[in-house]
């Protein structure tokens, strides 16, 4: 394989690993009684990996997948959080309660062996 083909292959594998991680996390939320509202919702401000309903509230979930949980946690940047806020604000515009809807922002970490950790209220608007 040439360098370009190798990079493309690695990128495709990372994309598939990300999809698999998001699927596992969605299943975990469903198992705990949450309803999945959207997967990979894209607005003008950015993409939200997973949006789940918690009663009348919403949970915006950022899924981070890496070799280990610490590395996955370290990969969330301030810039990404700002994009998630912008996208969440846009999504809330489609909700009956609008910006008065109760929300939280979770981060779901998945490592290379499939272990996962969900950090509720991982970040808030600041």
Whole-angstrom Cα distance, residue 20 to residue 58?
22
User: Does residue 124 belong to any structural domain of this protein?
Assistant: no
Question: Exposed (0-12), middle (13-18) or buried (19+): which is 109, by Cβ within 10 Å?
Answer: buried
In a domain, 106, yes or no: yes
The residue among 100, 124, 111 whose CA lies nearest residue 70 is: 111
- Evaluate whether residue 21 is within a structural domain: yes
Which residue stretches of the chain are H helix?
A: 3-31, 69-74, 78-92
Assess if residue 125 is contained within a domain.
Answer: no
The whole-angstrom separation of Cα 62 and Cα 59 is 10
**Per residue in 54-82, pLDDT tens?**
988 999 999 999 999 999 999 999 999 99
Q: Is residue 77 part of a domain?
A: yes
Residue predicted with more confidence, 103 or 2: 103
Domain holding 84, by residue range, is 3-119
Single pTM value for the model? 0.86
In a domain, 126, yes or no: no
* Structural domains counted in the chain: 1
| The pLDDT value given to residue 29 | 97
The domain that contains 14 carries what CATH number? 3.40.1350.10
| Averaged pLDDT for residues 9-37 | 84
């Amino acid at each position: 394989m040439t360098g370009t083909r190798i990079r493309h292959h690695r990128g495709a594998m990372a994309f598939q690993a990300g999809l698999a991680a998001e699927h596992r996390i969605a299943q975990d939320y469903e198992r705990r009684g949450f309803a999945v509202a959207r997967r990979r919702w894209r607005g003008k401000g950015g993409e939200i990996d997973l949006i789940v309903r918690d009663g009348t509230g919403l949970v915006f979930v950022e899924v981070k997948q890496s070799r280990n949980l610490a590395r996955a946690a370290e990969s969330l940047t301030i810039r990404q959080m700002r994009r998630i806020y912008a996208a969440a604000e846009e999504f809330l515009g489609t909700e009956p309660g609008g910006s008065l809807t109760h929300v939280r922002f979770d981060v779901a970490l998945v490592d290379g062996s499939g272990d996962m950790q969900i950090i509720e209220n991982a970040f808030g608007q600041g």
